[in-house]
Amino acid sequence: MPKIPEPQEDENGDVMAGDRRLSRPDSALPDWHIPDATYRPVPIVWFAGALLFQIIALTVLFFTLHSKDGMFTIAGSVIASIGILVWTWNRGMASASHAWKITTCVSMFLVLLLYCASASVRL
């Protein structure tokens, strides 16, 4: 049987594996592979993504249409918010718990309300 070097015997304390270092010489997996760290999207990611994307989109709409009647800004904001909500549902929010669904809808409605109230001075 080949002798597996002990990390303490190596001058750096690690065992070299090509251009990478293995912290355990008896590991069957490369050091970059983490088997339990797969990407699992969670509702907080969908929620935060929807809210941030809505805020950015409505801000762009608000300043783009600042010289127009406020009704254009309000209508564009409603359409954009509905589109972002549908996109969020299709990403996976439909399978989330009711609490996440309600929180997402209420938060997006409050942001929409804020932008519509700001645009209402131009009506």
HEC profile for the chain? Answer: CCCCCCCCCCCCCCEEECCEEECCCCCCCCCCCCCCCCCCCCHHHHHHHHHHHHHHHHHHHHHHCCCCCHHHHHHHHHHHHHHHHHHHHHHCHHHCCHHHHHHHHHHHHHHHHHHHHHHHHHC
Considering only 2-11, 52-61, 82-91, which range has the smallest mean pLDDT?
A: 2-11
CB 62 within 8 A of CB 117: no
The β-bridge partners of 20 are 17
Q: How many CB atoms lie within 10 A of CB 14?
A: 16
* Residue 25, pLDDT score: 47
* Residue 6, pLDDT score: 58
Residue 85: pLDDT above 80?
yes
Angle value at C-alpha 80, between 70 and 62, nearest 5 degrees:
35
Residue 48: pLDDT above 50?
yes
Mean pLDDT (whole number) for 57-70: 96
pLDDT band for position 84 (50/70/90)?
very high
**Dist CA 5 CA 45 (whole Å):** 44
* Residue 106, pLDDT score: 98
pTM of the model: 0.68
More confident residue, 110 or 21: 110
